[in-house]
Structures are given as C-alpha cells and as structure tokens.
Amino acid sequence: MEQQSRKTVQRVRHELRMREVSVASIAPVGEHFASITFQGEALADFVSLSFDDHVKFMFDDGAGNQVRRDYTPRRFNAQSRELTIEFALHGDGAASDWARHAQPGDRAIIGGPRGSMIIPPDVDWHLLAGDSTALPAMRRRLEELPAQVRATVVVLAGEGDRLPFTSAAQVDVHWVDSEDACSNACAHARCQRAKASPGVQAKRPPCAACAPCWPKKRASPRKRCASRPTGSRASPITTRTSSKRCSRRSAPLSPCGRAAPGASACAPRPSGSGARRLRLPAPASARPAACDARPPPPS
C-alpha cells in the first residue's frame, strides 16, 4: 500500500511570488538555445519540484511594454541562489531577441511557479516525446531519473540541437525529422513496451511496424445452442437468458386443447422490446399417451 501511494502523481500548490533577478552568465546550448543563469536574493525561497514546472519570465521590450513568457526552470542551486533557464532562439520573438542580446547584469522578473505536478521518477518506463522546445524539460527529467528505470525519448529537432543527454537511467533516444515520424516512433515504443506487459498488450492495438509479429488474439468460443426439438421444421432454441423472468406462464396443449399434465412453463423472454416468448416442448415423460376427452367425430 505504501509503494502504491509513493508512485501516485501528486499536485502541489505554491505561493505565487514575483522575484527580481539579474543575469549572471550566458552559455550557448547547441545552435538554437541559450542557457542563461539568473541570480538574486529573492530566489532564496524558490521551489521547483517537477521537471515540467513553468515560471513567468517578464522583461521590458525597450518601448516601456512588459513582455511575459513561460519557461521551464532548467536548474536551481539553492545555496548560490542561481536559477538557469534555457531560451529557444527561434524566429523573431520578443523573448528570443532578448535572450540573443542579453548581457550580465540585465534585470528581469520571474514569477512562480504556481504549482508542481510531481511524477515519481521510479516508475518502470518513461516515454518523453516532443519537438525542440521540449528539450530543456527532457534534459532535466533524464538527469533526475534513477539508474534502475528505462526511458524512451523521441525528439523532433534539427541536427544542430541533437546533443547527447546525461542520465543514469537506461535511455533509448530517437531523433526524427517530421511529425509523422515522431508519431510512428512513439507508437512503436509503446508496442515494444506492451510486448513485455501482457496486460497492456491486450488493451493496445499494434503499430504498423509491429502488426506482422503481434500475437494474435484467441477467438472466443461461440455459444452453443440447445438441442433441436423434434420435427424437421423446428428451429433451434438458443440458450440466451434474460435477467427478468416472464410474468406470464403457459404450457403446451394436448391435441384436445387442454393443458398437458406436468408441462413445462414458457421459456424466459429474450432481451429486446419486440422479442416473442418461446415455448419449450414438454418432456417426453410428461406427455399423455392418449387424451381421454377427445371430441366426438362429426356426423
């Protein structure tokens, strides 16, 4: 019970605070990222408990307007009160332009994080997938994983951003060039994981690559019908039953029109509003040998 609760996803709320910080150092990360480290006494009580936390980064654009963007806390050192954020340098966005021209001593405001969704790192298998903008969160998650777990990483990124990951876990990395390739790689990774888990294998259909070698499901046995009543034209009576018993009972009639002694009651009504009641024949032992009230022949 303790192990099950330990592996449950937890949501933690934090007090929202605005912190004034300044740029301490700048370092490039690949071709399209810049790692900027901020410092300040306001970071003394900064808390980030999950790899996908986001903070609100605020700065002035030079025209007196405040720009706000969301970023993932890449790394935090509580002793030196330093927070590192990796900025994606793509396009002509205001935050990308600020990161390109940032200098030590530039000031900014960091708000949050407002909350954390804590995913236990010691689950059996992790699947991380995304484009290049997800690389900071992926790098942080892989650095936090322990050695006994496995992780599959699928990233849609250019050649200049395909840097090696640092992790103690067993990591399988797939770099792809298109969204379709990313989806196919994720589906294939789930199939490979399902092959080792029979419970998952029965619930998830295989991908196109795994379909030829996917274990076939056994066909469920058909429901057999009851024995066919006597007579060449009699139709078989299925063994389907209903949860509701028939409120009216009738018995098969003898040739004279009277109810045969010991005759069976009507069968349960099958499901469906328009279904008819089926009459089962009486057992052979209960059928009368002859009728003692046969009407006289016509004169």
State pLDDT tens for residues 143-179: 999 999 999 999 999 999 999 999 999 999 999 999 9
- Determine contact, residues 25/37, Cβ cutoff 8 Å: yes
Mean pLDDT, the chain, rounded, equals: 79
- Residues 267 and 24: their CA atoms lie apart, in Å, by 85
Q: How far is CA 128 from CA 81, 228, 242, in A?
A: 29, 59, 49
Cis bond upstream, residue 113 (ω within 30): yes
Name the range with the highest mean pLDDT among 128-137, 188-197, 244-253. Answer: 128-137
Q: Which residues contact 136 (CB under 8 A, 6 or more apart)?
A: 33, 71, 72, 74, 85, 86
> pLDDT (tens digit, 9 = 90+) per residue, 32-84?
999 999 999 999 999 999 999 999 999 998 888 999 999 999 999 999 999 99
Predicted pLDDT at 265: 47
pLDDT for 241: 46
Binned at pLDDT 50, 70 and 90, residue 247 comes out as very low
Tell me 188's DSSP state: H
Rounded percentage of the chain residues whose pLDDT exceeds 70? 63
In angstroms, rounded to a whole number, what is the distance separating the alpha carbons of residues 176 and 183?
10
Range scoring the smallest mean pLDDT among 7-11, 62-66, 195-199, 224-228: 224-228
Let me know: does 40 contact 79? Beta carbons within 8 Å.
no
With beta carbons less than 8 A apart as the criterion, state whether 20 and 106 touch: no
Residue 100 belongs to what H/E stretch? helix 94-100
Q: In angstroms, what CA-CA distances link 191 with 72, 156, 196?
A: 30, 20, 9
Look at the pTM and tell me if it is higher than 0.85: no
Q: pLDDT over 90 for what percent of the chain?
A: 55
Per-residue pLDDT of 79-114, as tens digits, reads 999 999 999 998 788 999 999 999 999 999 999 999
For the cut 90, the answer to whether the pLDDT of residue 293 exceeds it is: no
